[in-house]
């Protein structure tokens, strides 16, 4: 008589699916939390700014890259001159 009003086999399948979904979400949440905690530490660790002696090298590298883009035809002469003037203005 205790079988009256039971869920039968459909209820057991439903409860199994819910249990698998629940534990899947718990595990996915833990993996996401670990991933978040490990990547934020590495992305926020920035080195000290370069000393002023290296600033000239950085701007020189930027000018070299600009000249390479001009030589490959990626930018025209007007844009090259405008960007070069802008780079030299901020040195």
Q: Kindly report, residue by residue over 28-40, the tens digit of the pLDDT.
A: 999 999 998 888 6
Q: Tell me the whole-structure pTM to 2 decimals.
A: 0.40
Is residue 65 domain-resident? yes
Q: What residue numbers bound the domain in which 65 lies?
A: 56-89
Task: Report the number of distinct structural domains present in the chain.
Answer: 1
Is residue 37 domain-resident? no
CA atoms within 13 A on the CB side of 85: 6
Say which residue, 42 or 68, is predicted with more confidence. Answer: 68
The predicted-structure confidence for 4-15, as pLDDT tens digits, reads as follows 566 677 888 889
CA 21 to chain centre: 28
């Amino acid at each position: 008589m205790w079988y009256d009003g039971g869920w039968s086999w459909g209820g057991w399948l439903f409860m199994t699916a819910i249990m698998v979904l629940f534990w899947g979400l718990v595990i996915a949440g833990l993996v996401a939390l670990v991933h978040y905690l490990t990547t934020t530490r590495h992305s926020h660790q920035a080195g000290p700014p370069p000393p002023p002696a290296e600033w000239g090298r950085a701007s020189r590298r930027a000018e070299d890259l600009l000249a390479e883009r001009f030589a490959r035809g990626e930018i025209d002469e007007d844009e090259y001159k405008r960007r070069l003037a802008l780079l030299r203005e901020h040195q």
